[in-house]
Amino acid sequence: MNNYLFTGSSHPGVKNKGVALVVALVLLVVVTLVGLAAIRGTTMQQQMTSNFYDREIAFQSAEAALRAGESLVLNDPTDTTIRDCRPVNNKVCATDPFTDSDQSTVTVQTLATSQFDAGALASGQPQFVVENMGDFADTNGSVKQLSGCASYGGCGAGANSTYFRITARSGDPANSADRAVVTLQSTFRD
């Protein structure tokens, strides 16, 4: 006959069964937290990728507007849509013509879809502003002209060139609906 030492319970080892349940519940909570952290990380990476993609589309649209502005200057540097910012006319233009307080002299041009179709992925059609910054002496010293001078304006001592500032953006921020808007600016010599 076996003699058992009972400690107030009719079955030996009852206390061990409760511990197994607690350990299982703790492990379940830990696995759930790890799963939630993985979901959160994946969601964050997806948002970051989406924002990067949106910015790249906006950058390409702004680049297209910049090239359209350069094309306008090459085709007709006296176009009436070009804003006069020449110092000889006592004109002072803000660095960003899209936010210039003297909006009456700013001609914002939106690219036609025949020039560049931003498509459904973009927030809108790109825009640009061309400004005539005036005539300045050609640079001497470390800057060298590598091609024919006739296609780039004057060359040599005392020669002047007309400089244009072209500011382009990927679309109108008022219509972007929290999408990326990229603004680019270049100085272009006629």
Which SS3 state, helix, strand or coil, does residue 55 take?
helix
Greatest mean pLDDT among 38-42, 109-113, 118-122: 38-42
CB 157 within 8 A of CB 111: no
pLDDT of residue 90: 75
Mean per-residue pLDDT of the chain:
81
Lowest mean pLDDT among 11-15, 83-87, 168-172, 181-185: 11-15
Q: Give the integer Cα–Cα distance in Å for 74 and 189.
A: 9
Segment 104-131 mean pLDDT:
85
| DSSP alpha helix (H) spans, the chain | 14-75
pLDDT band at 169 (very low <50, low <70, confident <90, very high): very high
